[in-house]
Amino acid sequence: MRTTAPQRMVHESVFLIERRGPTTNSYNPQGTGFYVMFDGLRYGVTARHVVQPPSKPWGTWSTNFTQPLFIRAKPANTNFPPADLHRPINMDYFEYDQLYSFSENPQIDIAVFPAFSFKGAPEEAYCIPFEWIQDDTNVIVGEDVNIFGFPGPYGFDKGEAVIRSGTICYKLSPEVYLLDANLWPGDSGALVASKPYFGVPDKDHSRYQWHFGGKILGVESMYVQPSQFLPDAPKELQGFRVIFSGEAIKELFESKQFKEKHELWKRLMAQTH
């Protein structure tokens, strides 16, 4: 059966990041993230500014992390409470900055953190295979995408991402794209993936086939006004969303500082099992 709905694994890999109120036990949306399976371990990917406040000018970051943060790891029709994002099993003695991996380029708004064996969290959540994350050469300007996020109050009660549509409208660099889409605060860290489509295979023009939309194209970051790029831009021009690309995600996973942490996590998990 052909369908334009996103592939289930992509949708269910997305999670809500919450912060707890300072004086109450209520939870409030902080941002969005998604799971990636890399070399047998599950990691969370989100926007860096969700977990570490930025400073001005952009590309400088506060030394203080937003904490505590919690993952709603599965839709809230289960009985599981949110799980402490910073405290998975065997990680209690690590400081927050040791758990996160960031790009060597401080302008890149991506954070990766270990998301395996959270205390009290279910293990059924889907993970996106690392191989689905796309190089820049596999992404075409004009490509239609789905954005999976938690805008404002929507999706919060059920822990299910809200899915909206957009278009990759311009590439500022292989790591940074402009996205034409209607998004809100809370979508920060949202997963951007290609839309399913019914088309002609590149190598076989004699038949059509269904492409399920599993290309992972990036992480939603921020809203920008055209005046940030064109000082004399008319005020009537609408702004764009910035996404940091799959290329930027892959570069982080393949960096030396991430691989050193990954080997440490693997040893810790081997000791646990």
User: What is the pLDDT at residue 26?
Assistant: 72
Give 3-state DSSP helix, strand, coil % of the chain, rounded to 5: 15, 35, 50
Do 245 and 176 contact (CB within 8 A), yes or no?
yes
Do 222 and 242 contact (CB within 8 A), yes or no?
yes
Residue 4 has pLDDT above 60, yes or no: no
| Residue % of the chain over a pLDDT of 70 | 71
What's the mean per-residue pLDDT of the chain?
Answer: 79
Q: What whole-number distance in Å separates Cα of residue 154 and Cα of residue 145? A: 20
Residues 6+ apart with CB under 8 A from 25: none
The β-bridge partners of 245 are 218
Residue with structure tokens 């899915």? 163
User: What is the pLDDT at residue 199?
Assistant: 59
Q: Residue 245: how many CA atoms within 13 Å on its side-chain side? A: 22
Residue 27: exposure state from Cβ atoms within 10 A (0-12, 13-18, ≥19): middle
- 273 or 53, which is more confident? 53
Residue with structure tokens 């937003």? 66
Q: 80 by DSSP, 3-state: which? A: coil
Q: How confident is the model at residue 97 (pLDDT cuts 50, 70, 90)?
A: confident
Q: What whole-number distance in Å separates Cα of residue 13 and Cα of residue 268? A: 24
Q: What is the pTM of this model?
A: 0.86
Q: What whole-number distance in Å separates Cα of residue 151 and Cα of residue 24? A: 22
- 205 or 270, which is more confident? 270
Per DSSP, 114 falls in state E
Q: Give the H or E element holding residue 41.
A: strand 41-46
Residue 242 has pLDDT above 70, yes or no: yes
Category of 106 on φ-ψ map: left (φ > 0), alpha (ψ -120 to 50) or beta: alpha
Residue 261 has pLDDT above 80, yes or no: yes
Residue 102 has pLDDT above 80, yes or no: yes
Tell whether domain 8-272 is in CATH 3.30.365.10. Answer: no
Q: Per-residue pLDDT averaged across 25-31, rounded?
A: 78
Q: What whole-number distance in Å separates Cα of residue 146 and Cα of residue 181? A: 9
Residue 2 has pLDDT above 70, yes or no: no
Lowest mean pLDDT among 72-81, 86-95, 98-107, 129-138: 72-81
